[in-house]
Amino acid sequence: MINDEYFLAALRLASGNDPIPGHVSAAARDVFELRVPRAVTAMPAEGATARGVRGADGPRTVRFVAAGLTFDLEVTVGDGLIDVVGQVFPTPCEGSHVDVRTPHLTLTRSLADSGQFAATGLPPGWLSVVCHRPGQEPVQTRWVRVRP
């Protein structure tokens, strides 16, 4: 495992004589903390675009696929907050759960027998969902920006 201070020191050495600005180091640490070790990243399904989601026209559905797992996410923006209703299939085994993540908040939800879950009241901005299955690598959607 990489020690954060050693990592930042290596970046400083590689950059030459000028020290890395403090805000850049802080941003790098913040991003590093968002990673999910050993996770497989699910990408938007063929033909789908998941660059960003705007809430003005009602719910938006985005499909992500990786490692034999599919995520269907329906994202709704209302009153300045995000609601996510989703389904993971094929239905993961008992004990599986999802983390619905923003950079500042993670909501953990158990999966229904059908693989469905919901998370409401999330702040607008970046969103990712991670499926944890006992005995298997986690699968995460890539980050999607959701705007009101």
pLDDT exceeds 70 at position 108: yes
User: Model's pTM, two decimal places?
Assistant: 0.76
Q: Give tens-digit pLDDT for 13-70.
A: 777 666 777 887 777 777 777 677 788 899 998 765 555 555 556 788 899 999 889 9
* Residue 134 banded pLDDT, cuts 50, 70, 90: very high
Shared-domain flag, residues 29 and 45: no
Structural domain boundaries enclosing 45: 40-147
Tokens at residue 88, please? 């993971």
Shared-domain flag, residues 62 and 26: no
Q: Please report where in the chains the tokens 């027998």 appear, as a residue.
A: 113
Alpha-carbon distance 60 to 74, whole Å? 5
Shared-domain flag, residues 99 and 76: yes
**Can you give the pLDDT at residue 143?**
92
Shared-domain flag, residues 135 and 68: yes
| Cα diameter, the chain | 57
Shared-domain flag, residues 29 and 44: no
Shared-domain flag, residues 50 and 117: yes
Shared-domain flag, residues 89 and 140: yes
Shared-domain flag, residues 93 and 139: yes
Tokens at residue 86, please? 């989703």
Encoded amino acid at 113, one letter: D
Shared-domain flag, residues 89 and 27: no
Q: Select from 52, 82, 50 the least CA-distant residue to 66.
A: 50
Domain tally for the chain? 2
